[in-house]
Every structure is written in C-alpha cells, then in structure tokens.
Amino acid sequence: MINEFLKSRIEDAKTLVQELNETYEYVSILGNYVKTKKALITTVSSSIDELDNECGFVIKVYKDGHYSEYSCDDIRGLHAENVIDAITISTPFATSIPCLKENKHVESFAREDASSLRDEEIYQRLNAIKEYAHAKDPKVIQVGCVFMKRETSKIFVSTNKCLDQKYDWCNAMMQVVVRDGDNIKMNFTGEGEVDSQLVLDKIDADKDEVIDIALKLLNARPIEAGTYDIICDPAVAGLIAHEAFGHGVEMDMFVKERAKAVQYVGKRVASDVVNMYDGAASCVSAASYFFDDDGVEAGKTNIIKNGILQTGISDCLSAMELGTAPTGNGRRESYKRKVYTRMTNTFFDAGNDSVEDMIKSIKHGYYLCQSNNGMEDPKNWQIQCTAGYGIEIVDGKLTDHIVAPVVISGSVVDLLNSISMVSKDVHIFGMGMCGKGHKEWVFVSDGGPYLKGKAKLS
C-alpha cells in the first residue's frame, strides 16, 4: 500500500488540479514519498539510519507555449494563486513547446519486500561478514558493508489520471580495502533484490570472492595500452549497454539534436548477435516502477535488434515533440528536479555461446570484470567505460596476470560491431546510479551476458 501521507493528499491534489485548470491548459501533480533504511558497518564505525529521503510534490502546468513547475513539501493549504504567483515570469525568450495530451487512466500498483528483517538481524549479518573478512587475511585493513532498503510511494494526479504505486528495492554492498606496505587496493561488490533476506544471502555468498580478488589486485599492474580481443563479464557488458546505446537513445537528446542515433534508426549500429533492451517493465530490478514521473505506464523497449537500431526511449514531452509514443522513461531525481528521458533497466540480451569457447578463441587478450564507471558521448559516439580489473588471456587460457583498472575507449559503433560471441545467461545488476551529464542521479540497473569483442584498452 502507498504511504498514508500521500494517500491523504490525493483529494487535495484533485482540488488543486481543478483550480489550476482555470488558468492553465495542462496541470498535473506528482507526489513522492521515499523512505530508506540504511545500515552501515565498517571496520571503524557503524550506524543504522531510517530516512524519509523524499516527501513532497511537484506541480506542472502549461500555458503560452512553455511549462512551469512548482516544487514544494506539501500541497494541503496551497491554493492556485500561491502557485501562479510563484511561477509566473515575464520572459523575453521565445516559447513554443506543445501541450501534453493524456488518456484516461486510474490504477493502483504495488510490489513489496516479503521479508521484514529486524535492525538487529541486519546488523548481525553485516557485522559477521566484516568479521569474516578481517579474520581471513591480515592484509584486509578496511571492510565496509551496507544494507539499504528503499520504499518508494508515488501518486500522479491530473485531469485524466489518478495513479498510485508502491515499490520496494533492497541493496547490499561489500567493500574491502587491502594493504601491503604502501600498496593499497580496493574491491567491492553489490547485489539488489526486492527481498531483503535474499539480498543479504547473496552478499554473504559473494564475500570470499570479493576478498580474494582484492588480494590479487595487490599484484595488479597497469595495462599496456593497445587494441585487444576482450571478453566482458555481464557487469562490464551492462556498463557498455548503458553508456553506448542507453544514453545515446534518450530521445530528449533527439529533440535537442544532440544525438547521432536519430540518423541511424533502422540502420546497423552493431553486429548481428547484438540485441539490447531498456524498460522499467523489462525485468524486476532497481528501476522497475509501474508508471513514470509523467504518469506513463512502464514499458519494455527493444533498442537494438540483431544489430539494427530500432528506436529510442522517451519521456512524455519528447515523444510528443517527435511524434512517437512515450516509452515510460520520464524520470526525476526527486520532486525537487525536472523530468528528463532516463534509462531504467538496460541490458544486452542472451546469445548462444559459452564463456569457455570465448576464452579458447583468444590468442592474446583480456577478460574484463567489474563495472566501475563510464561516460557517454551521444553526439560523437565516443565511449569511456572503466572495468575494475582485467585478467590476461594467452593462447586460449586465463593467466594469473591481472591488470587494473582498465579503461575501454574509442568508437561506440566499432566496439558494438566487433562483438562476435554472446553467452547464454543474462545477469542484471540492480545497484547502479546514473547521472544526466553530471547531475540528476537516478537508480538504474544494467547487465547482459558475457560478450566477446575487440576494444582499445588503456
């Protein structure tokens, strides 16, 4: 069930929409209530916080060729004239944006965590992982374990719509810092699930690998820059999907003529074996809501089909300006920020190959693991993705030689066209955050199968 406070404001929202409709051609109100429980256990400190990260509303109106918005903490007692006074400006600049049109839609949605763990249980489980890591090797100098449960409630009220939704998402993360003299290295992992018990089970199962890799990274060297055959693990594959043709097909960029992709719809942008999706309804993960911040139902968009670019993803306004259907990708960082076209769960689809065959097929290259960060370039299709580490492959076999970190850069199209093998299993990582440019952070997931390709590494 949605948060009681939001529920109590639905009638207020309907009244305010009606009042504002006397002045504006379009009016909508989005109400957000986001509650986060965060337990943090590190080697030197610990805390359990329960924060209502968001509790507020954004009122969106349209008149005279442009939109205005008013973000506030409550709408009870707020009258149309208060909003009008605040947002009315006399602009010397041109305004000619079209007005949103909406169909009738009234519905409630919910997806909730089935487990309800007590604070003590969460603390003990995280603390046990921390103690285990320190006991395992004296080179482990710092361990950080985090559990986060985010409960999101939203209402969307406009002339034609009255929607509400509640969805939960849990994350658990583990970070290990190891030190050998002046040599300090760090490794981490994270898991995401609707169920809090399950996410803690998963992070517990990951702990040995996280520690072992951190210790191996003490012997890592920088990679010799060059172009290599690569195998990307699902995390790195997800990062590539996100940076390459996630940001590249956000259709508010089409409206601004900032995306090269607009010229390539229906054309080849990747090899035949590449298929890619985005959508809040494409899987259950970190960005799986029921309706977006424009009040549009969640979708599943097939972005690349057999190497051919099919379509982009869009918020409501961008879709209207482009004459396409909105895909349910209109998202705000919070009620205090504007809506943009944003990715949700973005991933490459499965293929028919095995990881073993991929490794065997490489004479000299690198097996790249762990997504770190990336940056898009929708205009010029350059890409930068950083993998946490790479393992050298020589004569079809993995070696003990580790390089870290590894930066993949170059042309998006060259990289995607070089993909020659795709594994059968898809893993989605529901623990990411994504910015638009350098701000507007929203929760996203990404992932995919293992991919074999060729890339410039440094």
Partner 1 sequence: MMNTEEIVQVLKNHSDLSDYEYTKVTKNASELFFVKKKMELNRVVNTDTVSIVVYKDVDDKRGSSMIAVTSADDADSLNSKITAAVKKAETALNPYYPLASNQTSLIKESANKESLNAIALKAAEAIDEANQSSESWLNATEIFVYVTRTEFLNSNDVHHVDTKLSVEFETIPTSSHNNEEFESYKYYRNNTFDKASIEQDIRDILHLVKQRSIARTIDTVNITKDTPVYMYGEMANLIVGNIMENTSYASHVTQSNHYDIDKPVSNTKFDMILKGQIEGAANARTFDNHGVVLKETEIIHDGINTNLFGDIQYGHYLNAKEITGSYPVAEIKAKNTVDALQPHLIIDHFSAPQLESASGYFGGEVRLARYFDGEKYIPLTGFSITGNIYEALQDVEFSSENTTTQKYQGPKYFIFKNLNIA
* Alpha-carbon gap, residue 295 to 154, rounded angstroms: 10
Q: Does 186 bind partner 1 (CB under 8 A)?
A: yes
- Report, in Å, the least distance between residue 386 CB and partner 1: 7
Element (H, E) at 18: helix 10-20
Structure tokens at 34: 């986001």
Q: Does 120 bind partner 1 (CB under 8 A)?
A: yes
| Residue closer to partner 1 (CB basis): 101 or 104 | 101
- Report, in Å, the least distance between residue 94 CB and partner 1: 5
Q: Does 45 bind partner 1 (CB under 8 A)?
A: yes
Choose which of 14, 134, 136, 179 interacts with partner 1 (CB under 8 A). 179
User: Which 382-421 positions form the footprint of partner 1 (CB under 8 A)?
Assistant: 382, 384, 386, 404-405, 407, 409
User: Which 209-228 positions form the footprint of partner 1 (CB under 8 A)?
Assistant: 222, 225-226
* Alpha-carbon gap, residue 412 to 377, rounded angstroms: 9
- Helix axes of 119-136 and 196-217: crossing angle, nearest 10 degrees: 20
| Residue closer to partner 1 (CB basis): 124 or 352 | 124
Choose which of 33, 289, 443, 450 interacts with partner 1 (CB under 8 A). 33
- Report, in Å, the least distance between residue 74 CB and partner 1: 4
| Residue closer to partner 1 (CB basis): 216 or 379 | 379
Per-residue contact track with partner 1, 292 to 331, x per CB under 8 A? ----------------------------------------
| Residue closer to partner 1 (CB basis): 179 or 202 | 179
Which region among 115-123, 154-162, 192-200, 268-276 touches partner 1 (by CB under 8 A)?
A: 115-123
| Residue closer to partner 1 (CB basis): 278 or 376 | 376
| Of the candidates 432, 345, 375, 388, the residue with the CA atom closest to the CA atom of residue 236 | 388
Choose which of 24, 67, 289, 291 interacts with partner 1 (CB under 8 A). 67
State the burial class of residue 121 (Cβ atoms within 10 Å of its Cβ: 0-12, 13-18, 19+): middle
| Residue closer to partner 1 (CB basis): 91 or 103 | 91
Per-residue contact track with partner 1, 253 to 272, x per CB under 8 A? --xxxx--------------
| Of the candidates 449, 428, 388, the residue with the CA atom closest to the CA atom of residue 213 | 388
* Backbone phi and psi for residue 446, each to the nearest 5 degrees, phi listed first: -150, 170
Question: How would you classify the pairing of strands 364-375 and 406-411?
Answer: unpaired
DSSP state of 446: E
User: Which 151-170 positions form the footprint of partner 1 (CB under 8 A)?
Assistant: none
User: Which 364-383 positions form the footprint of partner 1 (CB under 8 A)?
Assistant: 373-375, 377, 379-380, 382
Element (H, E) at 385: strand 382-394
Q: Is residue 143 within 8 Å of residue 43, measured between CB atoms? A: yes
Instruction: Tell me the one-letter amino acid at 40.
Output: L
* Terminal-residue alpha carbon distance, the chain: 49
Q: What is the 3-state secondary structure (H, E, C) of 135-188?
A: HHCCCEEEEEEEEEEEEEEEEEEECCEEEEEEEEEEEEEEEEEEEECCEEEEEE
User: Which 92-111 positions form the footprint of partner 1 (CB under 8 A)?
Assistant: 92-97
Element (H, E) at 236: helix 234-245
User: Which 335-354 positions form the footprint of partner 1 (CB under 8 A)?
Assistant: 336, 338
| Residue closer to partner 1 (CB basis): 20 or 358 | 20
- Report, in Å, the least distance between residue 302 CB and partner 1: 28
- Report, in Å, the least distance between residue 121 CB and partner 1: 10
- Beta-bridge partner residues of 31: 57, 155
Choose which of 21, 43, 159, 197 interacts with partner 1 (CB under 8 A). 43
Q: Is residue 404 within 8 Å of residue 388, measured between CB atoms? A: yes
Characterise 250 by phi-psi region: left (phi > 0), alpha (psi -120 to 50), beta (else).
beta
| Residue closer to partner 1 (CB basis): 281 or 322 | 322
Q: Does 86 bind partner 1 (CB under 8 A)?
A: yes
